[in-house]
Chain A
Amino acid sequence: MSSLVKCPHCGSRPREEFTVRGEVATPRPVAGADESIWFDHVYLRDNPRGQHREYWHHSGGCRRWLVLDRNTVTHETSNVVDASTLKAEGRA
């Protein structure tokens, strides 16, 4: 795992300050969506070997939810943004 992660608010911070939440999946379906859409959202994962877009929480710092790319083989992290930017773009 990268020892340092670039938080967009706090700068380079030690990895221990962060909590990994998991894959940035498709946006949550509407309540009345088809069962197959819910099944896909709740259970299925891309689980790639390589670049993985995921949610992190800066739990020991600014306490903002972040979105970043992590390589699941080398654990290098990149493209860290605040999760609200995804929300604004309608992708979360």
Chain B
Amino acid sequence: MRYSALSLLGNAFSKNKNWKPAWRNPDPKPRYDVIIIGGGGHGLATAYYLSKVFGVRNVAVLEKGYLGSGNIGRNTTIIRSNYLLEGNNPFYEFSMKLWEGLEQDFNFNAMVSQRGVINLYHSDVQRDAYTRRGNAMRLHGVDADLLNRDQVREKLPFLDYDNARFPIMGGLMQARGGTVRHDAVAWGFARGADQNGVDIIQNCEVTAIDRDGDQITGVQTTRGAIKCGKLAMAVAGSSSHVAQMVDMRLPIESHALQAFVSEGLKPFIDTVVTFGAGHFYVSQSDKGGLVFGGDIEGYNSYAQRGNLACVEHVAEAGMAMIPALSRVRILRSWGGIMDMSMDGSPIMDRTHIGNLYFNGGWCYGGFKATPASGYCYAHLLATDRPHETATAFRMDRFARGYLLDEKGVGAQANLH
């Protein structure tokens, strides 16, 4: 059923008894042309674009838990395309353009809110770096505005402008950045893919990958063996774990990152704002809760939870930026597992095994990339060539020395 004002009205008259589940819950078929491991945002988006744009419909998405139980439901929901490097910027801008048309495209309310993203700067040097990044964005056709102190103060009056160590001098704003309701992204892509005939199979964990020489023949799962023509990994967080099934070692470490939400407050912060003197980013949800986060925990982890030391660290950074946060209570925190790649950028490429494809290494920036990651990965799966905006995310760039070091940081806290 297509959602519309009319369908809402019709179902209201029938007392909302006739709504159907948004997607089927099928049993796995014996064989698919393409199996996507991982029913997170990127896997579902890949299935959606694969079936919609590239006409590949005999597709299964295997999810070890339930839809939305991984990183797609564990992030701080920020979207932006304020990147510097040529290998990154066109890709993230492509993603931003897909976000802008996404709700009409997949007929689902994902609450895309382009409320603006402001990165604060606290020194002349940082202003110069932001000016450079803003100029690079504009050269790529992306919107960017350098705000001075008064312009930032007008938008965000509650910041600690006269902090003795880190006075706020201004900010780089991308007005088209913003937030999206993250669960709805998973649901929208899942529903769209399902309507195109994709089987979304939940509670189905891949336990082994079957090979015949240098070809993948299928996978063993907790719901039986399934054969496939092509196998596509989209399991960021657990990439090394799955790659190990075919004896692949990756330039990736798994780290836990926490996100937090406060009690509901009256409208207070109406953009996304990030601290330039520490790692802290915050926005306010439509329910009023402040949604914020900071650094990764700093040690390899596959546990979807963090430690109190990091809670304290994030709270301190938040209070250094917004002193009023001292009186706000944190309601919840949760953790997700990040694929931290060695240069801080993602990998989307074929592998040394002919029909095995890899998508991962998103570090803590995977959410904003969801639609473009799905589109470009679908392009790679369908045509065996990378999409024109995703040519830099090669697996062999580490060995060849072509790192995509957007921020010049490594996988762990001590390499930041």
Contacts and interface: CB of A to CB of B under 8 A. Distances in A.
Interface of A: 1, 16, 20-23, 35-36, 39-40, 42-49, 52, 54, 70, 72-75
Looking at chain B's contact residues, the main secondary structure is mixed
B342 A43 contact: yes
A75 B303 contact: yes
Contacts, number: 66
Contacts of A73: 301-303
B197 interface: no
Interface stretch (B75-83, B237-245, B320-328): B237-245
Contact of A48 (B240, B252, B303): B240
B298 A20 contact: yes
Given A22-B299, A43-B398, A47-B253, 11 more contacts: A1-B299, A20-B299, A22-B253, A35-B399, A43-B251, A43-B399, A45-B250, A47-B250, A49-B302, A72-B301, A72-B303
B307 A1 contact: yes
A46 B399 contact: no
A80 to B, nearest CB: 15
Nearest to A45: B253
Interface of B: 238, 240-241, 244, 249-254, 298-303, 307, 309, 342, 398-399, 411-412, 414
Contacts of A52: 300
Contacts of B249: 40, 44-46
Nearest to A74: B303
Nearest to B415: A22
B240 A46 contact: yes
A25 to B, nearest CB: 11
A44 B300 contact: no
Contacts of B307: 1
B298 to A, nearest CB: 6
Nearest to B239: A47
Nearest to B414: A21
Contacts of A21: 414
Nearest to A52: B300
Contacts of B238: 49
B351 to A, nearest CB: 14
* Leading 6 A-B pairs by shortest Cβ distance: A47-B240, A20-B299, A43-B251, A44-B249, A49-B302, A43-B398
18 contacts: A1-B299, A1-B307, A20-B298, A21-B414, A35-B399, A43-B342, A43-B398, A45-B250, A45-B252, A45-B253, A47-B252, A47-B254, A48-B241, A49-B241, A54-B300, A72-B300, A72-B301, A72-B303
Which of A45, A70, A73: most chain B CB closer than 10 A? A45
Nearest to A36: B399
Contacts of B309: 16
Contacts of B240: 45-49
B303 A22 contact: no
Contacts of B253: 22-23, 45, 47
